[in-house]
Structure 1
Amino acid sequence: MSSKKYPVEGVGLGLRRSFFDEVLQTPDFAVDFMEIAPENWLHFGGKQGRQLRSLTERFPFVCHGLSLDLGGIKPLDEDYLYSLKKFFKKHDIRAYTEHLSYCGDSGHLYDLMPVPFTEEAVKYVADRIRRVEDILEQKIGIENVSFYAMPTSQMTEQEFVKAVLEEADCGLLFDVNNTYVNSINHQYDATEYMQSMPTDCMMYLHMAGHFDEADDLKIDTHGQPVKEQVWALLEQTYQHHGVIPTLLERDFNIPPLSELLEEVEQIRGYQKAWRDSHVA
């Protein structure tokens, strides 16, 4: 069993506005940690700011960003990074992760576009990651993203992700659903991809649902329950890497909170089963 220290433990849930009040009013809310996109909360003060602080005092929180644009061509928004730094300190944020993608051009693209899988891009993105870490004074993590158009490539996706991790010496937010979706859309082995990721880099995992557009096309919507194949890949991930803190994301078609907590408990069940099978 790994003795690795993670920034959080157990099972988490991505906090969304649609059930924010319900979480506030549920003293025994059954999650171990929560995640927010800092862009959506950074500038809230007054009552909402105090309410968020009450939750960050109750639960460990992590932040998963949407707009840092690590792979983009424009200079990093350092004013934004200094604002993040203050926010993280105020709310005792345990970890910060961003997508390994670009989302800006002449303006914000409101989508996550794949970075070309080239040696030049590895060094470019790694330099930007190191600059972010210098400003924040902490290690950050990158997330493997889903994508639909294959970028310019001198290497495979898994080779590219691993090269960035090594060059930047940063952490990994491993998205189990994105791995499955990409494996279908781009015809590779999801299990082999998962096994190739470095255990020591992993900070926590993401689980989410996707839409089955066709047998050979899956769309990463975060708008459906987690699919059976993704549950199976999660189980394989634990078998290979050990139990890693895991968070459920749901962004659209958000059901009653009780249904989300059923999926949270499914994750907890997989974690318990792994631990029970590894008791000496």
Structure 2
Amino acid sequence: MRGPDDRPGPPVNVRSERMPVNLASIPYLGSGLGYREELADGIAAARDEIDFVEVLADKYISQPRLLDELREIRDLYPVIPHGVGLSIGTVGPVPPDYLAGMRRVSDVSGAPYYSDHLCMTKVPGIDLHHLAPLWRTEEVLESIIGKVDTIQQTLGKPLVLETISYLVDFDSPISEPDFFHRLTERTGCGILLDLTNVYSNSVNHLFDPLEYLQRLPLDHVVQVHLAGGFWAHGVLIDGHSHPVPEEVWELLAELCRRIDLKASILEQDANLDSLRPLLEQVWRARSIMRNPVVA
């Protein structure tokens, strides 16, 4: 028997009238944690300490039989699906089967928005297995605007796109902040501001992270990511493996002095032996969001 979560969506990859997007209607979610199977038992037991969780959407897109697991998580916490396989910068439309999978996961999660990355993970015929930066041109911008419109129309909710870390950037005619300005102005979509990525990029490419923040359309920032990385051969790597560095906490406080941030997620994919250090960082993020003046 089909439940309300499994209702069929509209036809995919068919452009229609642009859906009005109201980021202000997204509720305050608070401070949460990236859901990882290794932490499942601890996360279930910490319901008073974690406001919401972020799940890896592609797991459920590629394995629809696991949607019952997603429903169980949703029954414990508010859930935000976070994708890695959209590859919105790839030439051509979003594959219909992938877009249909996004819709299923989005509906089952009951989330107020769906997030992925402003990047490429594929080129025709090749999976890069990497979040690669875009060559930010007028043609690429127009292509992405069309795909964002299609996705938001299909999901019936905002798409929120994440800033990525990069070791090599192209000499693009449009800067990343200007690209986000024009994309959000045309589509109404949101931004997932990965503050660790901003900090790592600023260190590796020698720019001021605060100046970068000032140039973004901060009124479209819905959520942030926080994580800790490591140094390798003189390069700061966003490894999702260590505590959030103090410089990133300072960026979070500065951001929260400027906007009413709706959601913060701590990401950690390695060194998962204990939940307690992660919860302490979730608490710290919540404290900064509530009172950034004394952070």
Is TM more than 0.5 here? yes
2:277 pairs with one of 254, 259, 271 = 259
TM-score w.r.t. the length of structure 1 is: 0.88
Cα shift at 1:212: 2.6
Which residue of structure 2 aligns with residue 37 of structure 1? 56
After TM superposition, give the deviation of residue 65 of structure 1 in Å: 0.6
Question: What corresponds to 2:15 in structure 1?
Answer: none
In the alignment, the residues of structure 1 paired with residue 216 and residue 25 of structure 2 have an alpha-carbon distance, to the nearest angstrom, of 17
Q: Which residue of 1 aligns with 2:9?
A: none
Tell me by how many angstroms 1:101 deviates: 0.2
TM-score calculated relative to the size of structure 2: 0.84
Q: Does 1:113 align with 2:132?
A: yes
Q: Distance in 2 between matches of 1:28 and 1:253?
A: 22
Answering whether residue 92 of structure 2 is matched by residue 97 of structure 1, we say: no
**Contact conserved, 2:81 with 2:109, CA < 8 A, in 1?**
no
Deviations 1:125-160 (A, max 9, x none): 111111212222222111111111111411322222
Q: Is the 8 A contact 1:243 1:274 kept in 2?
A: no
2:222 alignment partner in structure 1: 203
Which runs of structure 2 are paired with 1:65-144 in the superposition (5 Å)? 65-105=83-123, 106-144=125-163
1:271 aligns with 2:281: no
Count residues in correspondence. 271
* Most deviating of 177-186 and 153-162: 153-162
From the superposition, tell whether residues 53 and 60 of structure 1 become closer, same or farther in structure 2 (CA, over 3 Å). Answer: same
Q: Structure 2 counterpart of 1:10, which letter?
A: G
Q: Answer yes or no: is the 8 Å Cα contact 2:253–2:288 preserved in 1.
A: yes
Partner amino acid for 2:33? L
* Contact 1:146–1:220 under 8 Å retained in 2: yes
Alignment of 1:159 onto 2:181: no
Residue by residue over 1:241-271, the C-alpha shift from the partner in whole angstroms, topping out at 9 and shown as x without a partner, is 2344211111223241111101111112212
Cα distance, 1:200 vs structure 2: 2.5
Question: Once superposed, what is the RMSD of the aligned Cα atoms?
Answer: 2.2
- Structure 2 partner of 1:226: 244
Matched to 2:34, the amino acid is: G
- Which of 1, 6, 10 lines up with 2:30 in the alignment? 10
Match of 2:256 in 1: 238
Identity of aligned residues (%): 28
Aligned to 1:180: 199
| Structure 2, unpaired ranges of 5+ | 1-22
In 1: Cα distance, 2:261 partner to 2:131 partner: 28
